[in-house]
Structure 1
Amino acid sequence: MSDALESLTLDAEGLALHVRQRRAASTPAVLFLHGWLDHSHSFDALLPHLPASWRLVLLDFRGMGRSAHVGPGATYQFSDYALDVEATLDGLGLDAVHLVGHSLGGIVSQAYAAARPERVQSVTLIESLGPAGGPAEGALERLRSALKDARRPPNRKRYPTVEAAAARLLENSPTLTRDAALYLARHGTEPFEGGVAFTFDPRHRRRFGMGYDEAQWLALQAGIACPLQLLLATGGLRHDEGLMRSRVQALHTLAHPPLHIPGGHHVHMEQPAVVAEALLRLIR
């Protein structure tokens, strides 16, 4: 049986999702969900550190990586990403999986685990404590912002080289290492107008019109029934201490206290062996 990753296209209500898979007949099955505007290759460094017998599935969310963009006039909403997870499980004939989510992927992992507890065996969150939340009073401004963003043309920016695209990633994500930025750019760009452009749909930069306030998000978290672990980077995203404390306390199935790992927001690319060890402990 080959240890190579095979690329597949799955159907999500007519939208083509790109996934990569290793050892399709093996168990346990582990599904990796990447961060906002990233792609499944952000997990590549982890793979050599995981057991060769595991079935690994790496998804590109809609409008990111090599998955299709939504059509004209359509938008992206948070619940769409949960639909992508469901389409992946259904398309691969998976009854249940272990979820590993980085940043946005961790938020989606929590939401899907709460909504479909019978299909999620464990959740590993990497640099992911949930959405911004906030008070209910923020709903009006959120809607106003979404309507304003809808007027912005979804322009794709051209970069002369992959290296220039990587430099842009470093500007936007200063905790990235140069090697990680270059790797993300190599796998996250394509030829465009004599240079390169990122493959993600620029409409992803528009704000959601609907979102969870803090009370709603904590109610959703309460629906998670499987074991869960939280991996945080010492140089990663900074959270309000009060918010972080309440979010962690709400994770009532947390298998152990949050694990703090040296590195930046993409700590799984910097410290793949340490992150893989944490996955082994939880999944085994």
Structure 2
Amino acid sequence: MGLFSELKLAVPWGHIAAKAWGSPKGRPVLCLHGWLDNANSFDRLIPLLPRDLYYVAMDFRGHGLSSHFGPGLCCHFQNFVSETRRVVEALKWKRFSILGHSFGGFVGGMFSCVFPEMVDELIMLDSLPFALDTNEVDNLLTYKRKAIEHTLQLDAAAKKPPRVLSLEETLQRLLKANTQLGEECGKILLQRGTTRVATGVVMNRDRRMDLLEHCMEFVSRERAVLFIKKLQARVLLIKALQGYYDVRRENDNKKEPVVFMVDTLKSVLKERFQYVEVPGNHYVHMQQPNRVAGVVSSFLESEDRLQAQLEPLASATQTPSSQGP
């Protein structure tokens, strides 16, 4: 499982890059990384997971080795849900599991509600299925305005060459912007997140995505409940005790949205939902992968899953013959 292969999937705006572990004949698991991270986010965790599964970690558009958004376009949350659907279509997957960290959990959660018949398990690492608007109502229009203005500014500066820094300078800037990441994990992400040039490295990421809240889709409590009722997947939420509690970092100490979401998932999904807290910060899956690997492995291999596979989904739109992985 230390061995992986690189994938390059064609999309209308270019390509989506991904890396895969295991045999394509195994049960598929799509791995979705966090905001401004990339597929290398799963390098340390996946080798500890069940070896008979097929793991594909994609680089979201504008991250890692994937193509950027087209010129002049803003980054909208729905785009990431849409490109996830394109990826599984290219892989010819009908049923699969999702393993999402942070922003990848938001995308995986929304995808699992929009396409409930496709997702067997949804696993979220220090994430939630949606970003609640609890702390955001007064800011939503401001976010939309700033996203448009930021895009216009970058369009005006697009003719300037990208900034070149040494790898060490780039690493230190990354660690300053993300205090929970740690030097070793930062180096892992920069392996895929930078391109070497003659005088140093340049960042690969699309600069239109500098601020997460500018393109997030914030969901009301009422809509969150309605969306969760659409889920057919079994759901595992692993919360890092020293991790993030809100999209906006100044709200990190406000745990109420997480409490509401966990209570709602328990109430609606009942035995199909599992909640586990682990010591560690937002990047515990990279820094101490053993703390989450056992929980994830047990969930993927549980007997409850096997029983669910034998029972047809009540609201699935596909015929039984087309529901195989």
Q: Which residue does 2:229 correspond to in 1?
A: 222
Map 1:168-187 → 2, pairs under 5 A = 168-187=173-192
The separation in 1 between residues aligned to 2:198 and 2:214, in whole angstroms, is 30
Name the SS for the 2:122 alignment partner: strand
Q: Which residue does 2:263 correspond to in 1?
A: 249
Aligned CA RMSD, in angstroms, stands at: 2.4
Q: Which residue does 2:170 correspond to in 1?
A: 165
The separation in 1 between residues aligned to 2:277 and 2:216, in whole angstroms, is 32
Deviation at 1:97, TM superposition (A): 1.0
The separation in 2 between residues aligned to 1:170 and 1:40, in whole angstroms, is 18
The TM-score with structure 1 as length reference comes to 0.90
- Larger deviation, residues 170-179 vs 34-43: 170-179
Q: Contact 1:163–1:185 (CA<8 Å) still a contact in 2?
A: no
- Larger deviation, residues 243-252 vs 92-101: 243-252
Query: What runs of 5+ residues in structure 1 fail to find an aligned partner?
Result: none
Q: Which residue does 2:242 correspond to in 1?
A: 235
Q: Which residue does 2:293 correspond to in 1?
A: 276
- Larger deviation, residues 74-83 vs 233-242: 233-242
Deviation at 1:152, TM superposition (A): 2.5
The separation in 1 between residues aligned to 2:166 and 2:137, in whole angstroms, is 44
Q: Contact 1:147–1:209 (CA<8 Å) still a contact in 2?
A: no
- Measured at CA, do residues 14 and 160 of structure 1 come closer, stay the same or move farther in structure 2, by a change above 3 Å? closer
Q: Contact 1:98–1:123 (CA<8 Å) still a contact in 2?
A: yes
Query: What runs of 5+ residues in structure 2 fail to find an aligned partner?
Result: 246-251, 302-325
The separation in 1 between residues aligned to 2:180 and 2:216, in whole angstroms, is 29
The separation in 1 between residues aligned to 2:220 and 2:123, in whole angstroms, is 21
The alignment of Structure 1 onto Structure 2 pairs a total of residues equal to 283
The separation in 2 between residues aligned to 1:248 and 1:56, in whole angstroms, is 27
The separation in 2 between residues aligned to 1:182 and 1:3, in whole angstroms, is 18
Q: Which residue does 2:152 correspond to in 1?
A: 151
The separation in 1 between residues aligned to 2:15 and 2:9, in whole angstroms, is 6
Name the SS for the 1:225 alignment partner: coil
Name the SS for the 2:44 alignment partner: helix
Name the SS for the 1:175 alignment partner: coil
Q: Deviations over 1:2-60 (max 9, x none)?
A: 97322121123343111112334322211100001100001000122122221111100
Deviation at 1:274, TM superposition (A): 2.5
- Measured at CA, do residues 161 and 138 of structure 1 come closer, stay the same or move farther in structure 2, by a change above 3 Å? closer
The code of the aligned residue for 2:163 comes to R
